[in-house]
Chains A and B, each alone.
Chain A
Amino acid sequence: MKKLAHALKSAFGEDAKADVNSNPVTLTVPVERFAEAAKTLKDGSAFLCAEWATDDTESGRGFCVYACLREGGEYLIVKAEMSSEAAGPEFPSLVTHFVPAYRFERQIRSLMGIIPRGHPDGRPWIKFEDWPEDAWPLRKSFDASKAMTCSEGQYLWLEAEGEGVYEIAVGPVHAGIIEPGHFRFQAVGETIINLEERLGYVHKGIEKRFESMTWETAVKLAGRVSGDTTVAHSTAYSMALESMTHCHVPERAQWLRALFIERERIANHLGDIGAICNDAAFAFMLYQCSRLKEAMMATNHRLFGHRFMMDRVIPGGVTVDISVDAKKEILSELDFLDENFNMLVRIYEESSSLEDRVRSTGILTSKLARELCVVGIVARASGLDVDCRVHNTFPPYDSIGVNVPALTAGDVHARVWVRVFEIRESMRLLRRILKTIPSGSLFAHCNAVLPDTTGFAAVEGWRGEIIYWIKSGQQGEINRCMVRDPSSVNWLALEQAIKGNIVPDFPICNKSFNQSYSGHDL
């Protein structure tokens, strides 16, 4: 038995029951001991990855709450059932043990109508204050096809008082071409003393929408949770379904998925580096990087039929192959990218005015990063060594091996530098993949989904770890699809990293995080 499961088992004895059919290991604990279980695991240095709830009232049971934790390469799910008799379902909040539970639980309360007992913040999250009080869309009794009738409402913002304190409210519609969200700063002079984010503007009811789709068609929706991460999201969804149906994906298909994921990573990192530099008024980098990114997009379109490779990954495999000529084309494109990118990195390093803006700006300390359980590029810039390609490895990464950068400065520069490192590493991976990709078929049929089973997958997208947890209902249909984009945890880190910085540095900080609104709001 692995470390976390063992720790919980030995602390809880008979009170922690293992669910035989589930992946990863799922231990059910009595609901009143839910927070205590989290505490035990935290003492075993676990991170909280996600927390969510299900509504099993249709099958005669009550609501369930789940927490997914990770330590090293081990994932563990702790589950607690709430009795169906109880008038208002409740569970003890994990907030005192894990900071990210703060938003997960507000979300559970807002969308599922379950009370996290002991949670300090009763304000809704994602659900807006003008929604009807009893609109809990994730409940089975909620009819998602009906429009809601909304009324007036007021969100209670945190307030700061004192001499010289003032507020700046930004959004939801921002000045650039970006997604909507509201930021409220409290500042004294130029210095930010607090930032409060309010997200949820692009909530499209994705998790509920999954429940009205079939397993095969839902992969399209997964690919549109966050458009810039379409490949990694559809891969994560597909892998969750494959784990549920014990489907063996042909090797060639797995290698092609990795090829797509790494191309997506390079393209997005290039875009980010350009955009970050542009926010320091270094427009040269923006145009150079976006030109390289555009070259990749055009190649994707030519070779794989879509600029972002949307819908190219499906459960069981992939829909496009790569020809010998296409391989050659990608290899020569890599040479072109390599040469130009190296020159750009040199210029970046030599620009002292740029350095002045990016160094020691927006620092997220290692300690905070650990407490906030951040993932992906943000984590790796703040000294956390987490990458699903390594700790939850799957082919072809297990045989190729991935070098993961670990920087500790946690500032904007570190987040740029992680990207620089990763672009180079992804180029190496691409060359390896192209050289040794095995032959074979592209697709294997998945078995039909059995009733009442669960599936799970964690995939490293370009932002970080993406988690899908799916559950089938009585007829084998989609009963619940929990999506955890890296943004769901990393947004909290931006609020912390910006404290003490000056207001004009917010855009560059925000870009260096570049989290997804859509992936968070769902």
Chain B
Amino acid sequence: MIRILRQIFRTGIVTNQTPQFDDPKIKVVGINLDDSVKKRFRRSLSVREVDAGSCNGCELEIHAINNPVYDCERFGIHFTASPRFADVLLVTGPVSKNMEVALRRTYDAVASPKIVIAVGDCGCNGGIFGETYASLGGIDKVIPVNIYIPGCPPTPADILNGFYKIFLAVKNPVMI
């Protein structure tokens, strides 16, 4: 036990203090949040991640925003196990033919109002996998998308920037 404590103290706080937030790469469409939503999302955003067919590169970077350096929970971004509890669906793709139904069902299971973020070049437009018999292309081919975060894969900072757009959209920038 003493060793664990010593290692914790030795490590200290490694969280990156200054992510750079306003990223022009990231495209936002159609978020129009009414007052109740502003209240609901303030500093508390439950996210359900769905891999709709990615190569798992994007998943690694989504993991990384949870690591101590990026620590997304300090902004109130919290990953949840059930779509029922989620405000946001964070989807990586392309949407594979075999995941189409599961993605739709997950989307339907999220209570309204909901926001969908497409992560990665594949999530934005199908990326290198394109549109084929097995890949339907970007996430918006199957469910409506509000925020697009390009990159292959986008860096953890890019992904946090994407989230920041939600906070901006509610005109209450709580990220400091």
Chain A nearest Cβ from B67, distance in angstroms: 4
The complex places the Cα of A164 from the Cα of B67 at a distance, in Å, of 42
Partner of B14, one of A144, A177, A226, A291: A291
Q: Give chain A interface residues in 159-215, CB to chain B under 8 Å.
A: 172-173, 175-180, 200-206, 208-209
From A86-94, A217-225, A321-329, A493-501, the one touching the partner chain is A217-225
B98 with A203: CB separation less than 8 A: yes
Q: Is the interface of B mostly helix, strand, loop or mixed?
A: mixed
A202 with B96: CB separation less than 8 A: yes
The complex places the Cα of A178 from the Cα of B57 at a distance, in Å, of 11
User: A137-B133, A179-B51 in contact; A344/B59 too (CB < 8 A)?
Assistant: no
Chain B nearest Cβ from A76, distance in angstroms: 31
Flag whether A516 is at the interface (Cβ < 8 A): yes
Flag whether A426 is at the interface (Cβ < 8 A): no
- List, in ascending order, chain B residues with CB within 8 A of A284's CB: 4, 7-8
B97 with A346: CB separation less than 8 A: no
User: A224-B128, A227-B58 in contact; A347/B98 too (CB < 8 A)?
Assistant: no
A291 with B69: CB separation less than 8 A: yes
B102 with A228: CB separation less than 8 A: no
Flag whether B31 is at the interface (Cβ < 8 A): no
A137 with B134: CB separation less than 8 A: yes
Chain B nearest Cβ from A143, distance in angstroms: 8
Partner of B59, one of A179, A201, A287: A179
Q: Is the interface of A mostly helix, strand, loop or mixed?
A: loop
Flag whether A158 is at the interface (Cβ < 8 A): no
The complex places the Cα of A201 from the Cα of B53 at a distance, in Å, of 7
The complex places the Cα of A224 from the Cα of B94 at a distance, in Å, of 12
A343 with B7: CB separation less than 8 A: yes
A180 with B51: CB separation less than 8 A: yes
User: A128-B98, A290-B68 in contact; A205/B57 too (CB < 8 A)?
Assistant: no
- List, in ascending order, chain A residues with CB within 8 A of B128's CB: 209, 220-221, 224
Flag whether B125 is at the interface (Cβ < 8 A): no
Flag whether A293 is at the interface (Cβ < 8 A): yes
The complex places the Cα of A226 from the Cα of B14 at a distance, in Å, of 29
The complex places the Cα of A150 from the Cα of B101 at a distance, in Å, of 11
Flag whether A134 is at the interface (Cβ < 8 A): no
A226 with B67: CB separation less than 8 A: no
A308 with B102: CB separation less than 8 A: no
Interface string of B69-97 (1 = CB under 8 A from A): 11000000001011100000000001011
Interface residues, chain B, with chain A CB atoms under 8 Å away: 3-4, 7-8, 11, 14, 49-64, 66-70, 79, 81-83, 94, 96-99, 102, 106, 127-136, 152-153, 155
Interface residues, chain A, with chain B CB atoms under 8 Å away: 128, 131, 135, 137, 142-148, 150, 172-173, 175-180, 200-206, 208-209, 220-221, 224-228, 230, 271, 284, 287-288, 290-291, 293-294, 297-298, 301, 307-308, 310, 340, 343-344, 346-347, 350, 516-518, 521
